[in-house]
Amino acid sequence: MPETPEQTWNIKQLLDWTTDFFSKSTIGNARLEAEVLLAEALDCQRIELYTRFDEQPPAEQLTEFRAWVKRRAAGEPVAYLAGHREFYSLRFQVDSNVLIPRPETEHLVVAAVEFTKSLTCDPIRIIDVGTGSGCIAVTLATLIENCKIAATDISEPALEIAKSNATNHGVDPKIHFFTGDLLDALPAGSKPVHLIVSNPPYIGEREISTVDDQVKNHEPDIALFSGPDGTEIIQRLVDDAAQFLLPNGALMFETSPIIMDRCVNFVKNNPAYSGVRVIKDYSGHDRIVVATKTDD
């Protein structure tokens, strides 16, 4: 967007120019991202932009929007610029300390909610391992009335974001946060639970060159990469989760189609589990593993 003082820009012109600029920068969803940034700069809902096409934004807001457009074109994710991302129709605060919530992870939430519908216990006890922004734990807390959730993360800054999201959605009394490595973060003597959910790191270090620059250069490595093969953290999670699950409890985690077979074999080769199934994502790729604890 040319910064010429003699030219004034209304909202429609800003959206059209930015959409074209993003498209030429090979940014997907160019129009949507232009709308998100402009709505954030104007502190309004995206839909309101269409009723304000002829309005000329104040200079201060226009300057902020221009700066964001430059940063987005340079690769910074729009979610970090706007400071939030929608997940399961809820708005979550995000910054560079947490992984940006993705639609694929919504399948994990759906599977978890479906599993809890068959439970009659009160409360339903859940652990969210590697909670990040808290999108899984907070969403489950809004959807499952009688639940208590322990959410862990090795990153203190990530947990601060998760706590803020829990407060913003009014579910903080249902969630307790613990800092530490996977399930080691939980206090000694913790009660066994009905369900463990996780979106763990699952990209192998050998795959780094194939990862999109926007992801690799801006999202936290600790939430993305897991050893040379990408399976190292998942194998630990599968092995350790068994001791925290009640009989017939479930472990559900997201992973990559590339390593799905190995992840399924981790479950099949562990006698603590009696069954395993795989759920596909919106694109038809194998995405979620559901492992059932043996009935002791």
List, for residues 47-91, the tens digit of each pLDDT value.
999 999 999 999 999 999 999 999 999 999 999 999 999 999 999
Q: What is the pLDDT of residues 151-188, one digit of tens each?
A: 999 999 999 999 999 999 999 999 999 999 999 999 99
Q: Count other C-beta atoms under 10 Å from residue 221's C-beta.
A: 11
β-sheet bridge partners, residue 149: 126, 175
Which pLDDT score, from 0 to 100, does residue 256 have? 95
Give the span between the Cα atoms of 247 and 273, in whole angstroms: 9
Compute the distance between CA of residue 215 and CA of residue 211 in angstroms, rounded to an integer. Answer: 7
Q: Can you read off the two tokens belonging to residue 149?
A: 């959730």
pLDDT of residue 1: 60
Mean pLDDT of the chain: 94
Please determine, for residue 2, whether its predicted confidence score (pLDDT) is greater than 60: no
Q: Which two tokens stand for residue 212?
A: 């999109």
Burial label for 149, CB within 10 Å (0-12, 13-18, 19+), is buried
Which pLDDT band, with edges at 50, 70 and 90, does 147 fall under? Answer: very high
39: closest CA among 86, 82, 96?
82
Distance CA 100, CA 220 (A): 10
Q: How far apart are CA 61 and CA 67, in angstroms?
A: 10
Percent of the chain surpassing pLDDT 90: 89
Largest CA distance in the chain: 76
* Range in 25-29, 215-219, 282-286 with the lowest mean pLDDT: 25-29
Q: How many residues does the chain have?
A: 296
pTM: 0.93
Residue 149 backbone dihedrals phi, psi, to 5 degrees:
-120, 130
CA separation for the pair 239, 273 (Å, rounded): 10
Please, is 168 exposed, middle or buried when counting C-beta atoms within 10 Å of its C-beta (0-12, 13-18, 19+)? middle
**Which residue, among 162, 164, 117, 105, has the nearest Cα to 143 in the 3D structure?**
117
Residue 192 confidence (pLDDT) above 80: yes
Look at residue 284 in the predicted model and tell me its pLDDT: 95
Q: What is the CA radius of gyration of the chain?
A: 21
User: Does residue 4 carry a pLDDT above 70?
Assistant: no
Gap between the Cα atoms of 122 and 148, Å rounded: 9
Does residue 281 surpass a pLDDT of 60?
yes
Separation of alpha carbons 226 and 200, rounded Å: 9
Q: Is the pLDDT of residue 293 over 60?
A: yes
Q: Give the whole-number percent of the chain exceeding pLDDT 70.
A: 97
Q: What is the pLDDT of residue 7?
A: 67
Give tens-digit pLDDT for 197-246: 999 999 998 888 888 888 889 999 999 999 999 999 999 999 999 999 99
What does the pLDDT read at residue 295?
Answer: 85
